[in-house]
Amino acid sequence: MSGLKVYNSLSRQKEEFRPIHNKHVGMYVCGPTVYSVVHLGNIRTFMSFDVIYRYLKYLGYTVRYVRNITDVGHLVGDQDTGEDKIAKRAKLENLEPMEVVQKYTNSFHAMMRTFNISEPSIEPRATGHILEQIEMVQKILDRGDAYVKNGSVYFNIQKFAKQHKSYGELSGRKLDELFAETRELKAQDEKNHPADFAIWMKADDRHLMKWNSKWSEGFPGWHLECSAMSTKYLGDHFDIHGGGNDLKFPHHENEIAQNQSACGCAPAKYWLHANMLLMNGRKMAKSDGNIISAEELFNGTSEHVSKGYAPMVVRFFMLMAHYRSTLDLSDQALQAAEKGYNKLMEANKYLQSIPVSESTEKSELDQNINDLVERVFDELNDDFNTPKALARLFELVPIINNHRDQKPGFQNISADILNKLKSCFKDVLFSIMGLMEDHAKSNGSGKVLDGVMELILDLRQQARSSKDWNMADKIRDHLAAHNIVVKDGKEGSTWTIN
């Protein structure tokens, strides 16, 4: 089996994954700005890194996963002017800024649980790390890479870029173009150059969240929190830094500059970027109203979907695309995902129920299964290729179903290969992909339906045992009229929704 390769956005190629400290991995992912409910685009990014985190742990690494909460400094328009997103919402909702932060942090956590997205090891908040950020501003000033203007502190990009030719490398921006581009921006008088960015901003009187510093009563620039918090919890140089690819510029590029200046090295060895969730071919984004909320998707109340989809179906749908590819949300694709999810879950249910015999006799089938199982992990090792890994599992489904249907030639699976196949399905579907069973049948009420179906199939089994074929058929036909298909096998009956 091949070793893990990851696509490093910095080198623009797949590289062998070699952590800095042997079996320990440090991973930092930019978390949400908690000023509103996360949308499905945000969720896709966090889910992508969840699978990466899960797979690293599966491979035996001890992972310290830091995913922050941005609760100050992220301004409307993602630049150095405009209102703070949190403060703006606080005024709108007539709440304290910290009430806004708490409210949307809670709702973010609830959403992460709904999608079975793991909790990080540390979830630091920007407002809880003002001291660390002030210290970093001082270090950058001491290095001569920043200047103070009217109580604000600006990173001197022109000077820095002259010394560090790597500025712009991550996002692929050419410096000349960048400087020409920013020159045309609206005059932001205070800065020496429009490409410079704030690492500390003086707050005006109306500003709600501000702290004392030697430069002014103010607040840290948006890019600074990630530099300060990643360094604090993972050290100057750690393994993986991730986020959505819309953060490459200016956020990550400026993070690198800050770390390079304050710590003398670039923060991360591997930069991993997740691609965007689209709807109607356009990035899902709150700013232009091109969004559908998770709730609307679950309830089927959006004009974009014909019915509701369970959280695990949505999770499966997202895993059917590689994290570096864009993914277009559509009703058709969700329907296909629902079918695929049910098919795999059914196959797995039966697979796990097969008793392991003592058979050590090898067969051609053994070889076939073994090769496919190895390929599942080869795909995951190839930059976490979930769609291809799922495709390999789908290739195994007919073998499992033929075993269930007692097709000749499909009964001889040796004990160790059967165990390997069982572990592969269980590990990949649940531990690595983070899917959960039986949540796809219907939104929220999946568990109830499961319980009811268990009872019905039990009653039908009793009817069959007492040779009451009329009753057994009546139950089956009645269920079929409600699109529930019952299949009778050697190990009992199973059901699916058509």
Residues that bind ligand AMP (CB under 6 A): 30, 32-33, 41-42, 44-45, 70, 243-244, 246-247, 276-277, 283-285
CB of 433 to ligand AMP, least distance (A): 18
The rounded distance, in Å, linking the Cα atoms of 366 and 371 is 9
Query: Of 245 and 258, which CB lies nearer to ligand AMP in the complex structure?
Result: 245
User: What does 348 bind: ligand AMP, Zn ion, none (CB cut-off 5 to 8 Å by kind)?
Assistant: none
Instruction: Name the binder of 226 from ligand AMP, Zn ion, none, CB < 5-8 A by kind.
Output: Zn ion
Specify whether the CB–CB gap between 366 and 413 falls below 8 A: yes
Rank residues 321 and 424 by Cβ distance to ligand AMP and give the closer one: 321
36/461 with CB nearer ligand AMP: 36
Per CB under 5 A, the list member of 6, 10, 27, 30 interacting with Zn ion is 30
Q: Which residue, 309 or 350, has its beta carbon nearer to ligand AMP? A: 309
Instruction: Decide if 434 contacts 395 (C-beta within 8 A).
Output: no
- Which residues have C-beta within 8 Å of that of residue 239, sequence separation ≥ 6? 19, 20, 25, 26, 27, 268, 269, 270
Which amino acid, residue 405? D
Which x/- pattern over 213-252 shows residues binding Zn ion (rule: CB under 5 A)?
-------------x--------------------------
Q: Which stretch binds Zn ion (CB under 5 A): 6-14, 26-34, 336-344, 438-446?
A: 26-34
Strands 217-220 and 62-67: unpaired
Residue 246 touches which member of ligand AMP, Zn ion, none, C-beta under 5-8 Å by kind: ligand AMP
**Cβ closer to ligand AMP: 35 or 61?**
35
Minimum separation from the CB atom of position 241 to Zn ion (A): 8
Give yes or no for a contact between 68 and 125, defined as CB atoms under 8 angstroms apart: yes
124: tokens are 């630091």
Nearer to ligand AMP, 124 or 244 (CB): 244
- For the bound state, the minimum distance from the C-beta of residue 258 to Zn ion, rounded and expressed in Å, comes to 11
The set of residues, in sequence order, having a beta carbon less than 8 Å from that of 228 and lying 6+ positions away, is: 129, 132, 133, 135, 136, 220
Minimum CB separation of residue 229 from ligand AMP in Å reads 14
| Nearer of residues 79 and 370 to Zn ion, judged by Cβ | 79
156's contact among Zn ion, ligand AMP, none, with CB below 5 to 8 A by partner kind, is none
Nearer Cβ to Zn ion, position 36 or 368? 36
Q: How many angstroms separate the Cα of 106 from the Cα of each of 96, 174, 222, 295? A: 15, 41, 22, 15
Residue 26 CB, shortest distance to ligand AMP, in Å, is 18
x/- map, 418-457, Zn ion, by CB under 5 A: ----------------------------------------
Least distance from ligand AMP to the Cβ atom of residue 74, Å: 7
Q: How far is the CB of 66 from Zn ion (least distance, A)?
A: 11
Residue among 20 and 285 whose Cβ is closer to ligand AMP: 285
Q: Let me know: does 219 contact 133? Beta carbons within 8 Å.
A: no
48 binds, among Zn ion, ligand AMP, none (CB under 5 to 8 A by kind): none
- CA pair distance 464, 472, nearest whole angstrom: 6
Query: Which residues bind to Zn ion, rule: CB under 5 A?
Result: 30, 226
